[in-house]
């Protein structure tokens, strides 16, 4: 019997910020998600596949949260374009609106606007438990009757109501019955001549969509030049005043919403009870204790990154060491074995060992976001941000920069003030991203003793936390300096709705950990694979016949002094590496980096890690593998680096050189992707060049001072 092919529909998931939209997206799609960019813009586009029924599949598009259909930021304009564009590739067959029952009046404004676009609509009512705590009771059947569209109560964090929601999606997809027969308000009456003429020029589905074309026709990408000219002439002919039309629309909508609320919602005196959220905020947003608690949470996070990850890291490191030793024993000694063991396996092993720390870091970040505390950090630090020319909205991109600077810089699009957005873009890479974590980890393990402080504090964890705090402090210092030189003058405001505190959805935390580890391995792995192979070639071959001369010389010495064969083998490997292409390149730049305490191998790693910071560890793994003796085949990278010495026998990695290197990477712009995204967001090469110059100078000077003081 042939299987029936599933029908597929596009569902746009929309709603106000903090309404539960992301939780529903994760609950419906699970691991069947992918993140890309919307066409033509650097804004995240999250899509996911969801099985609605045996015969129906849904492609769910998670759109950026917005409070109304009139966009103010780049993120909101993406939502707007998808919903209004009648010919876009993401044009939804159905719109699923998430409405917060605890703030129903405000949410219904957006719902009513979406309904008037005349696309099938389902309203998912969330936060019913919070509404009841506030003393709000909602007549769901009455609300559905008043609005004329299906209303389904859901709690995506606890997977409640999802079965009912899927049944409703299937029903609407089959019968197309959720398009309201009448407008929520009479959109045509707001500008009859303009709306009528626009519907002749543009194939929109409703009078209200035509009204939005009139308001934003200059920014709408789906309109051609002729359509824009005709619309402009029509607006001038009929003296269209968009501000007046928008104000009249909002007043009419709230008038009807007030009537609906009166008939369907019963609200007791809100002063009768104080929510637990308010009690917690009194402590967590306190002018003194709020900062103490924030530092305590950061301290616990970085202590955990070291202590919890130590065992799996040791297992992974030992596993790759054993794998390299085993492959060396069983495979024939030839170039192919050499490139596999000392190129590919060494490079990947050098990065795979840090997967546990990456997963723990993102687990903490997800928990902070899920619980609602991340938004409090923005609110708490707003006063501090204003001292350096920013506001609380800049904090979220900076915090996101702890994961990766690229999406963090994209996240600055919700900062309306151009000066604050530009400063935030220029300082965000100073936040220590997850790509720096492998470098910090291996260097801290090499030069910082693993010993307790005061009996319970881990010194290595304290150093790690210090590096992250140092990046944040330096970002504030640079922001204060940039404020003096950037002359853009705009008024700034910071309005933010704080979400209620919720227990983290552990399935979501687990999903994020797996996804981020997968992205880290695949993205970093591709780069490391290519660079490791190139490095193996550069470290295995040299110009002319120099490598052959070294081999011949040491073979003669071994014949003359067979008792020193093992020592001479090690010297030969080291000499061959020094005379390879990689060795010659490294030695050529060594005079510039020697004052910082770096040898030529570190110099090679500085160059290759410009592709991506985490490549530093893979580079070191490859270089130390190519130059090692066969007896060291199963040694870990940390052991090889710990044994590295200068020609006079001094260790390469000391406290002075280790601190210098960590400071260099804390401040250096070692990422091509970040520079590319800065150019794309600022639409100029001037700012990425300025950013690269000041960060490189800051990194070199701080590394130089640290080494000279500590050596």
Gap between the Cα atoms of 512 and 200, Å rounded: 47
| 3 state SS of 631 | helix
- Per-residue pLDDT of 315-330, as tens digits, reads 887 888 788 888 888 8
Model pTM greater than 0.75? no
Question: Is the model's pLDDT at 662 over the cut of 90?
Answer: yes
In what helix (H) or strand (E) does residue 457 lie, and over which residues does it extend? strand 457-458
The reported pLDDT for the residue numbered 37 is 40
| Residue 16 placed within a domain | yes
Decide which of 130, 155, 175 is a domain's last residue.
175
The reported pLDDT for the residue numbered 477 is 92
- Per-residue pLDDT of 259-299, as tens digits, reads 999 899 887 654 444 456 677 888 888 888 888 888 888 77
- Per-residue pLDDT of 509-518, as tens digits, reads 888 788 777 7
203 and 170 both lie in a single domain: no
The reported pLDDT for the residue numbered 654 is 92
Concatenating the DSSP letter of every residue in 348-417 gives: HHHHHTTHHHHHHHHHHHHHHHHHTHHHHHHHHHHHHHHHTT--GGGHHHHHHTTT-HHHHHHGGGG---
574 vs 290: which has the higher pLDDT? 290
97 and 19 both lie in a single domain: yes
List the single range of 132-141, 264-273, 588-597 with lowest mean pLDDT: 264-273
Residue 54 main-chain phi, psi, to 5 deg: -55, -25
| Residue 232 placed within a domain | yes
Q: Tokens 């009690």, residue? A: 279
The reported pLDDT for the residue numbered 700 is 95
149 and 194 both lie in a single domain: no
* Structural contact between residues 467 and 440, judged by C-beta atoms closer than 8 angstroms: yes
163 and 197 both lie in a single domain: no
Per-residue pLDDT averaged across 609-616, rounded?
73
Question: Domain range holding 550?
Answer: 543-572
Question: Is the model's pLDDT at 3 over the cut of 50?
Answer: no
Q: 106, 77, 83: which is closest to 96 by C-alpha?
A: 83
The reported pLDDT for the residue numbered 630 is 47
Question: Is the model's pLDDT at 618 over the cut of 90?
Answer: no
Gap between the Cα atoms of 375 and 369, Å rounded: 7
| Residue 43 placed within a domain | yes
The reported pLDDT for the residue numbered 33 is 58
109 and 193 both lie in a single domain: no
86 and 132 both lie in a single domain: yes
33 and 58 both lie in a single domain: yes
52 and 26 both lie in a single domain: yes
496-515 in b/e form (b: 16+ CB < 10 A) is bebbbbbebbeebbebbbeb
56 vs 648: which has the higher pLDDT? 56
Mean residue pLDDT of the chain comes to: 80
152 and 29 both lie in a single domain: yes
Q: Which residues contact 32 (CB under 8 A, 6 or more apart)?
A: 48, 49, 50
Percent of the chain with pLDDT over 70: 86
Confidence band, pLDDT 50/70/90 cuts, at residue 347: low
Question: Is the model's pLDDT at 34 over the cut of 60?
Answer: no
| Residue 119 placed within a domain | yes
Q: How many folded domains does the chain comprise?
A: 3
153 and 17 both lie in a single domain: yes
List the single range of 228-232, 438-442, 569-573, 693-697 with lowest mean pLDDT: 569-573
The reported pLDDT for the residue numbered 130 is 78
* Structural contact between residues 86 and 205, judged by C-beta atoms closer than 8 angstroms: yes
Question: Is the model's pLDDT at 704 over the cut of 90?
Answer: yes
- Per-residue pLDDT of 415-453, as tens digits, reads 777 888 888 899 999 988 877 888 888 888 888 887 777
The reported pLDDT for the residue numbered 71 is 78
- Give CA separation, 205 vs 8, 605, 675, in Å: 22, 57, 42
Question: Is the model's pLDDT at 633 over the cut of 60?
Answer: no
Per-residue pLDDT averaged across 522-551, rounded?
74
């Amino acid at each position: 019997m042939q299987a029936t092919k599933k029908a597929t529909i596009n569902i746009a998931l929309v709603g106000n910020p903090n309404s539960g939209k992301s939780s529903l997206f994760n609950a419906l799609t699970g691991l069947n998600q992918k993140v890309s960019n919307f066409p033509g813009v650097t804004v995240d586009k999250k899509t996911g596949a969801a099985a609605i029924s045996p015969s129906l599949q849904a492609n769910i598009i998670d759109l950026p949260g917005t409070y109304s259909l009139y966009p103010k930021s780049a993120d909101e304009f993406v939502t707007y374009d998808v919903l209004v564009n009648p010919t876009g590739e993401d044009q939804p067959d159905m719109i699923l609106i998430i409405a917060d029952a605890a703030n129903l009046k405000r949410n219904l404004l957006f719902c009513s606007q979406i309904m008037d676009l005349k696309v099938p609509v389902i309203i998912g009512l969330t936060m019913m438990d919070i509404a009841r705590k506030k003393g709000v009771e909602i007549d769901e059947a009455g609300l559905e009757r008043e609005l004329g569209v299906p209303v389904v109560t859901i709690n995506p964090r606890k997977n409640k109501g999802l079965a009912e929601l899927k049944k409703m999606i299937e029903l609407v997809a089959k019968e197309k019955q959720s398009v309201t027969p009448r407008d929520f308000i009479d959109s045509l009456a707001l500008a009859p001549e303009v709306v009528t003429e626009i519907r002749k020029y543009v194939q929109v589905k409703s009078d209200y969509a035509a009204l939005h074309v009139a308001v934003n026709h200059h920014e709408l990408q789906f309109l051609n030049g002729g359509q824009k000219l005709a619309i402009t002439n029509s607006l001038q002919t009929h003296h269209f005043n968009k501000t007046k039309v928008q104000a009249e629309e909002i007043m009419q909508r709230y008038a009807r919403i007030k009537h609906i609320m009166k008939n369907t919602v019963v609200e007791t005196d809100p002063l009768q009870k104080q929510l637990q959220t308010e009690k917690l905020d009194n402590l967590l947003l306190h002018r003194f204790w709020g900062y103490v608690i924030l530092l305590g949470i950061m301290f616990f996070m970085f202590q955990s990154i070291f202590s919890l990850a130590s065992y799996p890291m040791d297992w992974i490191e030992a596993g790759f060491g054993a794998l390299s030793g085993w492959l060396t024993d069983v495979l024939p000694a030839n170039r192919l074995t050499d490139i596999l063991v000392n190129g590919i396996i060494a490079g990947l092993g050098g990065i795979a060992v840090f997967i546990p720390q990456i997963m723990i870091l993102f687990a903490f970040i997800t928990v902070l976001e899920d619980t609602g505390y991340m938004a409090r950090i923005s609110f708490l630090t707003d006063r501090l941000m204003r001292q350096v020319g920013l506001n609380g909205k800049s904090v979220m991109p900076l915090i996101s920069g702890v994961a990766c600077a690229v999406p963090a810089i994209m996240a600055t699009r919700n900062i309306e003030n151009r000066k604050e957005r530009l400063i935030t873009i220029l300082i965000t890479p100073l936040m220590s991203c997850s790509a720096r974590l492998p470098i910090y980890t291996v260097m801290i393990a090499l030069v910082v003793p693993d010993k307790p402080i005061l009996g319970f504090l881990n010194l290595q964890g304290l150093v790690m936390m210090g590096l992250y705090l140092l990046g944040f402090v330096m970002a504030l210092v640079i922001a204060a300096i940039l404020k003096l030189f950037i002359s853009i003058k705009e008024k700034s405001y910071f309005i933010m709705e704080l979400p209620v505190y919720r227990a983290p959805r552990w399935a979501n935390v687990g999903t994020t950990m797996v996804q981020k580890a997968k992205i880290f391995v695949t993205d970093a792995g591709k780069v490391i694979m290519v660079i490791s192979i190139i490095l193996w070639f550069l470290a295995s071959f040299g110009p002319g016949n120099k490598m052959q001369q070294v081999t011949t010389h040491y073979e003669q010495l071994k014949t003359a002094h067979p008792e020193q064969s093992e020592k001479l083998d090690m010297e030969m490997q080291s000499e061959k590496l020094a005379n390879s292409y990689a060795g010659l390149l490294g030695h050529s730049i060594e005079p510039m980096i020697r004052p910082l305490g770096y040898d030529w191998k570190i110099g090679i790693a500085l160059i290759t890690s410009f592709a991506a910071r985490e490549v530093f560890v893979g580079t070191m793994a490859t270089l130390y593998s190519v130059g090692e003796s066969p007896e060291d085949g199963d040694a870990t990278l940390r052991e090889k680096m710990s044994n590295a010495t200068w020609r006079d026998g001094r260790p390469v990695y000391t406290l002075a050189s280790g601190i210098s290197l960590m400071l260099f990477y804390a401040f250096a712009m070692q990422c091509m992707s970040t520079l590319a995204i800065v150019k794309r967001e600022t639409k100029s090469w001037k700012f990425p060049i300025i950013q690269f110059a000041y960060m490189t100078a800051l990194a070199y000077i701080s590394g130089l001072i640290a080494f000279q003081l500590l050596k």
